[in-house]
């Protein structure tokens, strides 16, 4: 075992100490760890004891003061049950409005977005003349915005958030938060645009080319300024090509012609685009297949 030697300084006298191994230090370290754990447990015990005192107190004013302290200190889990107890006790009072407003934000801070959205909206409807009503209505919409899932999932919450934001803008058209609301609307609409594009692309991937053409065109109609426009028009072109070559003979010529029209549409919009070479390759195939069909 590795041996440590050291000297203990006692005033100006250096006295040799018996050699000490690491086991000694390990035992000392464990004692210090044990001491720290005891200190933490005692502190936690006092904290829990204080919280239990608040919970059991029959004095609503004392509870209110302590609950607001918990809220301001970020101890939201402690604040929630106390706010829920205080809300009916102060219902119909100015203090009751503040308690409910705190409660809304407590849910928000804890990440209970559905609950927070519900209570913020209820607050704005219950206290429309409150100084916090405007903020509460915006926060209801914002919580729905945060709850909006990624574009691959169901977009019900996204539509809900859009409705809530429109309600806010209609209710407070002069609010300083209108610009923020409009920014959120743009982000949510882009998510729906992306969802529509993904759905259309899925038809293409599973080789349902007719459905892909219809779905891609619907996306372009609903979102004419979409950032996916170039890729969509290329995929419409490719969908027509694959749809045509897999069609019965009597339908092929018509669909080749539709594909050629799709190419012209692509070139009119993206002649200098990054996908131009691929579009030209598909166009050449369309021409070749159509001419082969006509000449036969």
Mean pLDDT of 230-245: 97
Residue 18 has pLDDT above 70, yes or no: no
CATH number at residue 266: 1.20.58
- Whether residue 188 sits in one domain with residue 215: no
- Whether residue 199 sits in one domain with residue 115: yes
Q: What is the pLDDT of residue 42?
A: 36
Q: Bigger pLDDT: 292 or 33?
A: 292
The answer to whether residue 21 is domain-embedded is yes
DSSP-assigned beta bridge partners for residue 7: 16
Domain that holds residue 48: 1-56
Question: Which pTM value belongs to this model?
Answer: 0.76
Q: Bigger pLDDT: 70 or 17?
A: 70
The answer to whether residue 89 is domain-embedded is no
The answer to whether residue 80 is domain-embedded is no
Interatomic CA distance for residues 23 and 36, integer angstroms: 20
- Work out whether strand 13-16 and strand 7-10 pair parallel, antiparallel, or are unpaired: antiparallel
Q: Find the range with the poorest average confidence among 49-58, 63-72, 99-108, 191-200.
A: 49-58
Q: How confident is the model at residue 49 (pLDDT cuts 50, 70, 90)?
A: confident
The answer to whether residue 228 is domain-embedded is yes
CATH number at residue 132: 1.25.40.10
Identify the top-confidence range among 2-16, 43-57, 120-134.
Answer: 120-134
Question: Residue 52 CB: number of other CB atoms within 10 A?
Answer: 10
The answer to whether residue 84 is domain-embedded is no
Q: What is the pLDDT of residues 86-111, one digit of tens each?
A: 999 999 999 999 999 999 999 999 99
- Whether residue 121 sits in one domain with residue 181: yes
Interatomic CA distance for residues 280 and 109, integer angstroms: 54
**Residue at which a domain ends, from 144, 179, 205:** 205
- Whether residue 224 sits in one domain with residue 170: no
The answer to whether residue 98 is domain-embedded is no
**Residue at which a domain ends, from 56, 76, 95:** 56
Chain mean pLDDT for the chain? 87
- Whether residue 175 sits in one domain with residue 116: yes
Q: How many domains does the chain have?
A: 3
HSE value, Cβ hemisphere, 13 Å, CA-based, for 173: 1
Helix (H, G, I), strand (E, B) or coil at 20: strand
**Residue at which a domain ends, from 167, 189, 205:** 205
């Amino acid at each position: 075992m590795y041996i440590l030697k050291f000297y203990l300084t006692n005033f100006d006298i250096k006295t040799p100490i018996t050699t000490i191994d690491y086991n000694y230090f390990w035992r000392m370290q464990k004692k210090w760890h044990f001491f720290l754990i005891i200190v933490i447990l005692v502190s936690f015990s006092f904290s829990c004891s204080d919280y239990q005192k608040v919970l059991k107190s029959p004095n609503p004013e004392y509870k209110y003061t302590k609950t607001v302290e918990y809220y301001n200190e970020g101890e939201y889990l402690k604040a929630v049950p106390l706010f829920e107890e205080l809300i009916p006790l102060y219902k119909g009072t100015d203090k009751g409005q503040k308690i409910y407003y705190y409660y809304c934000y407590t849910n928000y801070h804890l990440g209970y977005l559905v609950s927070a959205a519900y209570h913020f909206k209820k607050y704005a409807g219950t206290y429309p003349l409150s100084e916090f009503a405007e903020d509460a209505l915006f926060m209801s919409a914002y919580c729905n915005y945060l709850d909006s899932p990624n574009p691959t999932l169901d977009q019900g919450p996204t539509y809900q958030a859009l409705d809530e934001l429109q309600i806010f803008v209609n209710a407070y058209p002069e609010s300083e938060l209108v610009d923020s609301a409009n920014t959120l609307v743009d982000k949510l609409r882009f998510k729906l645009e992306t969802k529509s594009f993904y759905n259309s692309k899925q038809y293409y991937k599973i080789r349902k080319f007719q459905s892909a053409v219809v779905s891609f065109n619907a996306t372009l109609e609903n979102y004419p300024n979409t950032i996916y426009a170039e890729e969509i028009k290329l995929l419409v072109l490719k969908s027509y090509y694959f749809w045509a070559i897999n069609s019965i003979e009597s339908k092929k010529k018509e669909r080749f012609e539709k594909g050629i029209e799709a190419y012209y549409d692509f070139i009119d919009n993206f002649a200098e685009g990054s996908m131009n070479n691929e579009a030209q390759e598909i166009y050449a195939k369309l021409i070749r297949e159509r001419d082969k069909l006509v000449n036969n």
